[in-house]
Structure 1
Amino acid sequence: MAYCDAHLCGVDRQDFIFRAFVRQEENMADKLISADNHIDLTYCPPDLWSSVAPQEWREMVPRTEEREDGLHWIVDGQDKGVWNGVGPGFLKYQKGAFQHVDEMAAAGFDWNHHPGAVTRPTTPETRIADLDKDGVQAEIVYGCLMVNDMIANKEARAWANRTYNDWAIDFAHRADPNRVFPLAIIPNNSPEDAAAEVRRCAKMGIRGGDLAFKGMPVPLWHRDWYPVWEAAAECHFPISFHSTGFRGIRAPDTREMEKEYFTHFRMVRSSLFQLDTMEVLVSIITSGACEKYPDFKFILGESGVTWLPYLFDRMDTSYDDRARSLGLTMKPSDYFRRQGYVTYQQDAYLEPNVPLVGEDNIMWGSDYPHPDCLWPESRAMLEKNLAALSPTTRRKIVHDNVAKLYNINVS
């Protein structure tokens, strides 16, 4: 009928089909899916864990205490900072500390640390409103980065992970299950607990999980982790490894040094932050996980893109020179192109590196609501950052790749 109507109006059939294709391209471009958004511990309900924790773990798992300046998060006896703070650092908002945080405040984001305040990222209505404001149709949501570094007791840690995962899927359904897709926090205390939680969360309808790669009982390249990769492959449950920064970066040694040099330290740490996922990439491929489980998919979360070609070359060269005993049947870099993904926010050197990394392996994310996120200007950044790429490649990066990986159908 559509062709007949066009024909009656005197429109050439080929021209009509071309216009329809262009409209389809434009409509798809409107449906941005962020592959890297967040719910940080600072934004979680104050009693999420403490209201249901077994007595023996109540002092270990996250809870809040009221102080003069508002609620503070206490984890395993340590004050981590304010509730409803700025990003994963539990920071109070200080105008001028972060340029983009000031821009977020001007756009309507606020941080009130006192009981009863609205936490925008964990209030269904405001989270959806913030997606709309940013022009983002759907999101993959990482939960409580580094919480597993805060809880020493392994059983309490795994319980806290499960409790968050139950809450996260409920929150997504209250917000909009067709737009908000939480990732599970996968316990890193043992491969057995991790594999069990992968299977449990897959049955609940969670599409993937994040596994903290620091503080594991054995290294990521160890065969003990095979049950996790097997469970992930069987359940079609992609496993993410989100960057959390290098450990051991030299910090100011004294209070006096911190006063004068804190900005220097912050510059070094933030500039190198995403590169800790280099270790993950080489470890996963070296472990044989991709060789043994070809359906296993993994993601380097918020890792950036343009360092990958160098590491591909270094990895392939090192394998040829000193690691052929691993018995891989492909070049190490080819396993990434078959089974690996990266997410990025913005990258001035993205365009020439896309063919080297693979246009099917790159996913964009806005990083909402972190201090260096793109909210609420994601579309403006993408228009500039992706301008040199073809419409097909652009669509893959902002929509198709993440939709395919997590089986998301954005209507």
Structure 2
Amino acid sequence: MAAGSTDQPHWSEESNMVYRIISSDSHADAPREVYIESVASKFHDGIPHVAKGDDGKNYLWVRGQKVLTMEHLREGREGGPWQQVREFDMNDADGWKPSRRLEHMDRDQTVAEVIQGGATWALFDPDPELQLAVCKVWNDWAMDVYKPYSSRIQPSATLPIKDIGAACKEVQRLAAMGYTNLQMPIYPIEMPYRKREYDPLWAVLQDTGMTVNLHIRSGTRKSTPFSAGRVHNYCVDCTDGIITASELCSTGVLERFPGLKFVFLEVGGGWAAWLMHTMDGIYNAHPETSITLKKRPSEYFKQSIFCSIMMDSVAMKTIDTLPADNLVFSTDYPHPEGTWPESQRRVGLQVAGWKDEDIEKFTHKNAERLYGFPAETPSTAELLNAVAR
């Protein structure tokens, strides 16, 4: 059976196989009052809040604009490996609390997670002063809340990039605080990552060893309208991964800064083998109009790029081109397209036929290396007792 096939999964409810799983992409944010209490009142209009629309439904609003539905969504359509078993409210007001997250990790049989998403909504705001003020609130709050639980919960800092000098100073501050990773916009269309203006930021990120997370819908490009439907909206947003990965690999960024590590989150990886094949093909066919590199573009991809996989059997079938060394797993907890509370089954569906060493890289070893998780993690009871002491 081909690796990643979902026709005859080797995992079943009766299976004794239990994988050691670390999620590279789970979500939380600070309560709204944390931002309101911590930033100047002139920024309050840019902090999201939930209110009813004219149709009586709850929406997330920013600067008077309706940006996202907050209604409780029904379970997914029946059939298919992406069907969601929803057993909790994704809008749980206490969902950020470490004890609640550990409880839900145990339910899912995942040992650790990286928390993405804090204040990333600010990266869409046109005001660079608001961006930095709000993101610093999350960065300070998240480290204060989650640092005692860092063996199993690692927060991702959020880094605005409109002011490169300020971004460099913030990276140094974050490293001193104990952060191992941060999130940047996946596709800053106003100033793409190939621009030399970013070199001071790439240098400080490389020097500090900070892993850079690039998450779907975290950039400055406006998403396609929801009137086009969720399917089209989601798929178009995933193409940001292709655009930015190509830019980093083929324009010299990763040649100048070989120590950088980028993790593409929630944009899958089925495109990666095609991209590596195409970049190398065009590089060879058009030497007179391609930027000259010391290595092929695909080699820079394998050197520095990681794809986070929730449910992408297409990517998993391309392991000969997109090796396990470049894959991490994510649950996307608590979002409805994610794998909670059945991540063990989802992993099993995708790694059938793989070698044990490749499964271990995908499920936890790459994440341990990228985010600084220990090779052995305490149980929830042990961790809570240690924190209480």
Counterpart secondary structure, 2:313? coil
- State the shift of 1:191 in Å: 1.9
Q: What is the rounded CA distance, in whole Å, between the counterparts of 1:372 and 1:157 in structure 2? A: 28
Aligned ranges 1:24-103 → 2 under 5 Å? 30-39=19-28, 44-62=30-48, 73-80=60-67, 89-95=68-74, 103=85
| Residue aligning to 1:403 | 368
Residue identity opposite 1:209 in structure 2: L
Q: What is the rounded CA distance, in whole Å, between the counterparts of 2:43 and 2:224 in structure 1? A: 32
User: Does 2:143 align with 1:169?
Assistant: yes
- State the shift of 1:29 in Å: 5.8
| Residue aligning to 1:226 | 199
Residue identity opposite 2:113 in structure 1: E
State, as a whole percentage, how many aligned pairs show the same letter: 23
Q: What is the rounded CA distance, in whole Å, between the counterparts of 1:399 and 1:350 in structure 2? A: 18
Counterpart secondary structure, 2:38? coil
- Please say if residues 216 and 237 of structure 2, whose CA atoms lie closer than 8 Å, have aligned partners that are also in contact: yes
- Please say if residues 359 and 397 of structure 1, whose CA atoms lie closer than 8 Å, have aligned partners that are also in contact: yes
| Residue aligning to 1:9 | none
Q: What is the rounded CA distance, in whole Å, between the counterparts of 1:336 and 1:409 in structure 2? A: 26
- State the shift of 1:123 in Å: 1.9
Q: Which of 279, 282, 286 is residue 243 of structure 2 equivalent to? A: 279
| Residue aligning to 1:14 | none
Q: What is the rounded CA distance, in whole Å, between the counterparts of 1:386 and 1:144 in structure 2? A: 31
- Please say if residues 131 and 137 of structure 1, whose CA atoms lie closer than 8 Å, have aligned partners that are also in contact: yes
Q: TM-score, normalization: structure 2? A: 0.82
**Larger helix share, 1 or 2:** 1
Q: What is the rounded CA distance, in whole Å, between the counterparts of 1:273 and 1:51 in structure 2? A: 33
Aligned ranges 1:146-185 → 2 under 5 Å? 146-173=120-147, 176-185=149-158
| Residue aligning to 1:137 | 111
| Residue aligning to 1:319 | 283
Q: What is the rounded CA distance, in whole Å, between the counterparts of 1:71 and 1:47 in structure 2? A: 19
Q: What is the rounded CA distance, in whole Å, between the counterparts of 2:121 and 2:59 in structure 1? A: 15
Q: Which of 138, 156, 161 is residue 188 of structure 1 equivalent to? A: 161
- State the shift of 1:385 in Å: 1.4
Cα deviation digits, residues 287-312 of structure 1 (max 9, x gap):
42211111111111222222211111
- Please say if residues 186 and 217 of structure 2, whose CA atoms lie closer than 8 Å, have aligned partners that are also in contact: no
- State the shift of 1:130 in Å: 0.6
Residues 310, 379 of structure 1: alpha-carbon distance in 2 compared, 3 angstrom cutoff: same
Q: Which of 237, 259, 262 is residue 295 of structure 1 equivalent to? A: 259
Q: What is the rounded CA distance, in whole Å, between the counterparts of 2:277 and 2:84 in structure 1? A: 40
| Residue aligning to 1:258 | none
Gaps of 5+ in 1: 1-26, 81-88, 113-117, 253-261
- Please say if residues 29 and 395 of structure 1, whose CA atoms lie closer than 8 Å, have aligned partners that are also in contact: no
Cα deviation digits, residues 142-177 of structure 1 (max 9, x gap):
124751344221111111111111111122135x22
Residue identity opposite 1:78 in structure 2: Q
Residue identity opposite 1:400 in structure 2: K
- State the shift of 1:179 in Å: 0.6
Counterpart secondary structure, 1:349? helix
Q: Root-mean-square deviation (CA), in Å?
A: 3.0
| Residue aligning to 1:205 | 178
Q: What is the rounded CA distance, in whole Å, between the counterparts of 1:207 and 1:181 in structure 2? A: 8
Q: How many residues align?
A: 355
Higher relative contact order, structure no. (Cα contacts within 8 Å, ≥ 6 residues apart): 2
Residues 111, 90 of structure 1: alpha-carbon distance in 2 compared, 3 angstrom cutoff: same
- State the shift of 1:95 in Å: 3.2
- Please say if residues 230 and 293 of structure 1, whose CA atoms lie closer than 8 Å, have aligned partners that are also in contact: yes
- State the shift of 1:78 in Å: 3.3
Residue identity opposite 1:75 in structure 2: V
Residue identity opposite 1:186 in structure 2: L
- State the shift of 1:352 in Å: 3.1
Cα deviation digits, residues 257-301 of structure 1 (max 9, x gap):
xxxxx6xx2222234442320011011123422111111111112
- Please say if residues 75 and 85 of structure 2, whose CA atoms lie closer than 8 Å, have aligned partners that are also in contact: no
- Structure 1 window deviating more from structure 2 (237-246 vs 160-169): it is 237-246
Q: What is the rounded CA distance, in whole Å, between the counterparts of 1:155 and 1:60 in structure 2? A: 11
Residue identity opposite 2:292 in structure 1: G
- State the shift of 1:125 in Å: 1.6
Residues 354, 127 of structure 1: alpha-carbon distance in 2 compared, 3 angstrom cutoff: same
Counterpart secondary structure, 2:260? coil
| Residue aligning to 1:268 | 232
